[in-house]
Structure 1
Amino acid sequence: MNCIAHRGFCGVNPENTVPAVEDAASRADAVEVDVRICGSGELVVCHDETVDRTTDGSGPVSAHTAAELAALSVEGSGAGVPTFEEVVEVIPDDVTLHAELKERGTGEGVERLVDGAGCETVVSSFDPEAVSEVERLPTALAVWEAEGAVERATELGCSFLHANLDACTPPLVERAHDAGLGVNGWTVRESGETDRLRDAGVDGVMTDFPEYCPSAD
């Protein structure tokens, strides 16, 4: 099973920052980040609609320029909210980048920014419309529940299904594999959850903590 560093191993690093991505890339098979559009039009890496939870700033991401976001401090680390381009630049060629689209209108920009990058890139979203924007890269449908998930992902032409821990049962994984889909389970935060996903037969584990990577247990 592959180890996918969720938000750059956000359990031990300031989430979705360049230092987090660099650290995670040295310890995992893949790094997952979240992509939004900021007020000045660039793609930036931030999970929430606002910067309130993770930074010393406040307000919507869409109300800040890229420069203003860069000047914030994520979780007191001194590292700012980066652009997606900055993240792409620090991903090694042998590490896969997982870009989760948090809003529509981001897919084309993600494809453009990873053109020429050496790393493999998988683009995911909970929003089928956002997934549909992606034309040239492998895609994944993210889901909370198993019901209808394989069918929806197949209809979208996805290569992967990103399923919540509780949805990652052996029957779901078997159906997904029969449909030609890889399955990555999220999000491992406790001991034993990696074993549950292994028993279910998933292909990858998304985790906040490096100690819960399949290779570390």
Structure 2
Amino acid sequence: MGSSRDASEAPKLGDATGIDVGCTSADPPSLIAHRGFAGEQPENTVPTFRSAARSADWIELDCRPTADGVCAVFHDRRLDRCTPLSGVVAETPAESLFSTEVLGGGSIPTLEEALDAIPTHTGVVIDLKGRHGAVPTGADERWEWLEGPLATVADTPHSTLVSTFWEGALEAAERYAPELPTAYLFESGVDRAFEVAERHACAALHPPAELLVGGRTAPDGEERFLARAHERDLAVNVWTVTDHEEAAALAALGVDGIIADRADVLG
């Protein structure tokens, strides 16, 4: 279902999985607000989520732990880019973090505050980050801190999808909240992506836009990649789209969701 949905309806990324995140629908792709449309407003803040919900079918937000294991809605490993502070989020106590303003307005919210700001008819994509970076590295990651946040997500009335680059986070989701649908985020390695999705019974794959409409074409072709995913009841939600032309090309291919930095990419 695209962004023209009735506000009273639960958002869908298709119907194949039976849990509102599958695919193969002929509808326009769902519009997913990347960090609350980070190209328009300060990312991952309560005011931004409220604003994005006026036009988005789903809102994507990032979660990572503070020094004391509290879930903060924040993308970067470090505070420097988005706040007046310096340092690593995972080394900063929650008390200091949640009193910090975000450059451009708003403050860093807790997961509960973010969910409360989003209307229940709008879906939520929860992007799980590790302590050491935005994408997996050789650093050891521990995921016990996710038990509480995943319970919070499981209890929310929103339609939800848990996404991550980390297999460890997918394993934590299976352990702590097996009822939650999951998505595997990846940058390259199509065959491995399908293997990970199968291993963890994912509902979706989240490839970069460049894999389908840029210079990094999927090895077996864009349409074959989508067909392969749809044959396995996997939604394909593509990141991060910034303009009309790219969004139109992805919609023509038949992707299920477009994770976008701007609200007008499909309009």
State the TM-score, normalized to the length of structure 2.
0.76
Residues 56 and 76, structure 1, Cα contact 8 Å, conserved in 2: no
| Paired AA for residue 156 in structure 1 | H
The corresponding residue for 2:119 is 92
Q: Does 1:138 align with 2:181?
A: yes
* CA apart distance, 1:113: 1.1
| Residues 95-174 of structure 1: pairs in structure 2 closer than 5 A | 95-103=122-130, 104-105=142-143, 106-134=145-173, 135-145=178-188, 147-148=190-191, 149-168=193-212, 169-174=222-227
| Residues 39-118 of structure 1: pairs in structure 2 closer than 5 A | 39-77=67-105, 79-103=106-130, 104-105=142-143, 106-118=145-157
Q: Which moved more, 1:65-74 or 1:13-22?
A: 65-74
Partner SS state of residue 155, structure 2: coil
| Paired AA for residue 81 in structure 2 | R
Q: Does 1:8 align with 2:36?
A: yes
Partner SS state of residue 228, structure 2: helix
* CA apart distance, 1:145: 2.0
Any idea what the Cα deviations from partners look like across 1:67-89, whole Å, max 9, x if unmatched?
A: 31222221231x11111111111
| Paired AA for residue 125 in structure 1 | T
| Paired AA for residue 57 in structure 2 | D
| Structure 2: gaps spanning 5 or more residues | 1-28, 131-141, 213-221
What is the rounded CA distance, in whole Å, between the counterparts of 2:163 and 2:87 in structure 1? 25
CA RMSD in angstroms, aligned pairs only: 1.4
The corresponding residue for 1:203 is 256
Cα 1:66–1:43 change in 2 (3 A) is: same
Residues 154 and 179, structure 2, Cα contact 8 Å, conserved in 1: no
What is the rounded CA distance, in whole Å, between the counterparts of 2:117 and 2:72 in structure 1? 15
* CA apart distance, 1:146: 5.1
What is the rounded CA distance, in whole Å, between the counterparts of 1:109 and 1:101 in structure 2? 13
* CA apart distance, 1:138: 0.3
Larger Cα Rg: Structure 1 or Structure 2?
2
Identity rate, percent? 36
Partner SS state of residue 95, structure 2: helix
| Paired AA for residue 207 in structure 2 | A
Residues 107 and 131, structure 1, Cα contact 8 Å, conserved in 2: no
What is the rounded CA distance, in whole Å, between the counterparts of 2:41 and 2:94 in structure 1? 21
Partner SS state of residue 190, structure 2: coil
Identify the structure with the greater strand proportion.
1
| Paired AA for residue 25 in structure 1 | A
The corresponding residue for 2:137 is none
Q: Which moved more, 1:107-116 or 1:32-41?
A: 107-116
State the TM-score, normalized to the length of structure 1.
0.93
Residues 154 and 180, structure 2, Cα contact 8 Å, conserved in 1: no
